[in-house]
Amino acid sequence: MWPHSKRSSQYGVIAPKPQDWPNFDNFERSDASLKVWLPQILIDRINWISKTREISRPDIVRALAFENVYGRVAYEAFIAHATEKKNPQSLPSSSESIDQMLHPNIRRSRSITTEQDLEHLGKSDEDLTITLPKKLKADLTQLADLHKLTPSSYVRKLLVLHLLGEQIHSQWQKALGNLPADLRILETDNN
Q: What is the pLDDT of residues 142-182, one digit of tens each?
A: 999 998 889 998 998 888 888 878 777 677 667 766 544 44
For the entire predicted model, the pTM comes to: 0.69
150 and 144 in contact (C-beta within 8 Å)?
yes
Scanning 11-147, the segments in alpha helix (DSSP H) are: 40-53, 57-70, 72-86, 98-102, 115-120, 134-146
Label the pairing between strands 124-132 and 32-39.
antiparallel
Q: What is the pLDDT of residues 46-55, one digit of tens each?
A: 999 999 989 9
